[in-house]
Each structure stands twice: as structure tokens, then as C-alpha cells.
Amino acid sequence: MKNRVWFLITAALVSLLVMTSDPLRAQTISLEIMGGSAYNLPTPLTVHQSGYPDIHFWADYDTKPFGPYAPYYAWRAGLWDKNEAWEFGQVHHRIFLTNPPPEIQVFAIHFGYNYFFLGHAWKKADFILHLGIGPVITNPQNTVRGQTLQTKDTGWFDQGYNLSGIGAEGAISRNFYYAKNGFFLLEVALIAGFVTVPVVDGSADVPNLAFHGHIGTGVSF
């Protein structure tokens, strides 16, 4: 089980290389790492728990980008051919429910609403457009009707990580070069995901739709 996430990442990187491999072309590799935050739009949250009626309401979330626990972050690798690239990356999103009903004491996915995207990019004048799609791996924390979910010794790495759904993104970024191969970047993105996570004796459907802002640095070679 714990090897599946590495298989997923390796398969995506191999796919990227296969799709772009051509020994006759001059290609450029870019590597980027970013921090940031997100504005989460209200989305429906539905909790199914055995022996109880469903809980369904419009949920509001906070991202808390600097903590507690691991902060919000993102990274991306791209293989460029002139003004187009195939890309693979991750967005480590975090959501904390801020308007829980009485039945829900705690609801968060702060160890990661982790998007893994395989996508394509296009340079348009000074800007870069990105589109991506891929799986979402989550690690939830919740207490529903006084019953606290225990994730230790479960899922990948025995730490509660599981493949939970699918996500998609559209983004626009701009690079500001401070050296021939080094740059700062700014990015805004609209990212959507739909996942199902466990609760005690049940599950929760947790879609997320958010505007994300990123600032970071990168290199190309």
C-alpha cells in the first residue's frame, strides 16, 4: 500500500518524459517551488454515518497557510519545447471547516488535500497558461457526533493517506528572471477537487473549489 503513491508519481514523470521525448529537439527543464494560500468558495459537504441521517450543508473553509502542522506549498516540474511544456506537480492544499453544525465537532483535511497534476503549459507573451488534471490524495481529521477518526496505522505510510478523488486546475503565471536561469514567479489559479474521506462508521463527500495565489522561485536548464 505504501508504495502506491511513489508508483503514481513515478508513472506520471515517466509519462511526461515519454510524451515529450525527441532527441532531435532542444528542450528545457524547469523546476519551481511555491508558497501561497487559497480563498475557498462555499461548497456542499455531505456526511454519511451509519445509523444516523445524513448531514448536508454548504461548508466554509479556512486554509491557514502557515500552520498549524505543515504549511501550504506547491511544486512543479516542466519539460519545455519552445513555447509549450508538459508538466507534473503537486499542490498541498489545507482546509479547516469554519461553520460546523452541532453534529460536527472537528472537520479538517490539513495534512493534505493533495492535488497531483499532469498537465500542459503554453507561453503567451509575458504569461504562462497552465491546465492540469490528476488524483487527489488526502489525510483527514474529523470528529463527528463525538466519534473521532483514527488514521494512525491506516492508509499509505500507515499515516492515513489515501487516494480519495480527482482534481483539475487552470492557472496563469509570470516569471521574473533575476539571472539567466533563475527566476521568481507569481501565479493565480482556480482549482477544483472532489474527494470522499472516511469518518467513523461512514464517509464524507468533500468537494473543494478555490482561488489559489502562489509566489515562488524556479530554475530552468
Q: Assess whether pLDDT exceeds 70 at residue 137.
A: yes
Identify the band that residue 7 occupies on the pLDDT scale cut at 50, 70 and 90. Answer: low
Residue 17, pLDDT above cutoff 70? no
Separation of CA 141 from chain center: 17
- What are the boundaries of each domain within the chain? 4-20+27-220
The fold for domain 4-20+27-220 equals: Porin (2.40.160)
| Set of cell numbers at residue 87 | 508538466
**pLDDT for the residue 131:** 98
Q: What is the mean pLDDT of residues 20-26?
A: 51
Question: How many angstroms separate the CA atoms of 35 and 14, rounded?
Answer: 26
Q: Which three cell numbers stand for residue 118?
A: 499532469
DSSP string covering the chain: -TTHHHHHHHHHHHHHHHHH--TTS--EEEEEEEEEEEEEPPEEEEEEETTSPPEEEEE-EE--TT-SSSPPEEEEEEEEETTEEEEEEEEEEEEEESS--TTEEEEEEEEEEEEEEEEEEEEETTEEEEEEEEEEEE--EEEETTEE---TT-SBTTTTBEEEEEEEEEEEEEEEESSSSEEEEEEEEEEEEEEEEEETTEEEEEEEEEEEEEEEEEEE-
Instruction: Flag whether pLDDT at 219 surpasses 70.
Output: yes
Q: Look at residue 24 in the predicted model and tell me its pLDDT.
A: 43
Pairing status of strand 127-138 against strand 162-177? antiparallel
Task: Give the mean pLDDT of the chain.
Answer: 91
Which residue's entry shows cell 461512514?
Answer: 202
**Cα angle, residue 71 at apex, residues 128 and 148 outer, rounded to 5°:** 125
**In the prediction, which pLDDT does 13 show?**
52
Report which of residues 9 and 38 the model is more confident about.
38
Instruction: Supply the pLDDT for residue 4.
Output: 52
Looking at residues 27-34, what average pLDDT do you find?
96
CB 45 within 8 A of CB 57: yes
Average pLDDT over residues 209-215: 98
**Which tens digits make up the pLDDT trace of 146-176?**
999 998 888 887 788 999 999 999 999 999 9
Residue type, 150: Q
- Other beta carbons less than 10 A from residue 19's beta carbon: 12
